[in-house]
Amino acid sequence: MRHKTSGILIVDKPQDITSARVISRIKKKLGVRKAGHTGTLDPMATGVMVCTINKATRLSRFFLDSHKRYEAVLKLGVETDTLDATGRIVATHQIDTVSEQAIRAACKLFEGEINQTPPIYSALKHNGVPLYKYARNGTPVTKPPRKVFISYIKLIDINLSEIRFEVKCSSGTYIRTLCADIGNALGCGGHLKELKRIECGGFGIHEAMSLNEIETKPSIETIQKKLIPMTDALSWMRQYTADTGLMEKIKYGQPLSSADIPVEPESLSSPFIKVINTDHRLLAVVSQDENKGQYNYCCVFLNP
């Protein structure tokens, strides 16, 4: 695989390790120069990481805004400064009067489009510095609320102070903020105790290899078989098969018009088209410019 094979590897991230460290260990195991991911998981979180290998690193942008699904545990009655189990306890409250009916009603409040304030302990930046650095230095910075979308919150188990639930949400949603907000709505506070991402970019946990499994595989070829080809990874994207003439234009970066790729325009919210050859290999991703009847290159995988 060294420096040659490109594709998407779905990894089940273990707990207590950064996403960056996961990528570093995968690069070492596979012997590749380039690897990345399409969305950071906090060290305490586990689950799906969409890892891009070699040329596939250029596809990361197409997955960043995808919806995600998580399974989480909310601990009621205990508030922490980080809003999760890694933080310092700042308040405790009685939960004797919190009913299952109240919990279900509180969760419903946060479905749909909501305004959510990012945690002061997060990797979001202020003046080029991550927020968690300000917080650790005793000068926390609060970012203004931003709109996120919660498709659903499905309660799995309610066991006294702990609530296990599944949530599907838009990119940029903080599950620890969601847990704290639900706790506040119930009047008892709360924090995120456990978090597992079960879907990201259309890829599920059932497709993932554990980091231990990757590192202990004696054969690189075994891992290579788990790589998702770049064309298949963009399954949601419209597709066009290039002829020889179009391939030559793409190879040399020549302008492309609707005559070259006669695909009917669709909503500007999904302007991308993947161009492939007859072997189903990804040649390029282009975007439609409806006003000019032309295409803009997003990334090209053909060398002149």
Catalytic center residues: 42
Amino acid at the residue 11: V
Rg (CA), the chain: 22
Q: What sign does the dihedral 228-232-236-238 (CA atoms) show?
A: positive
* CB 191, CB 80: distance < 8 Å: yes
Q: Which helix (H) or strand (E) holds 212?
A: helix 211-216
Q: What is the DSSP letter of 174?
A: -
Distance CA 162, CA 108 (A): 17
Burial class from Cβ neighbours inside 10 Å (0-12, 13-18, 19+) for residue 131 reads buried
Q: What is the DSSP letter of 117?
A: P
> Structure tokens of 144?
């203004």
* CB 189, CB 178: distance < 8 Å: no
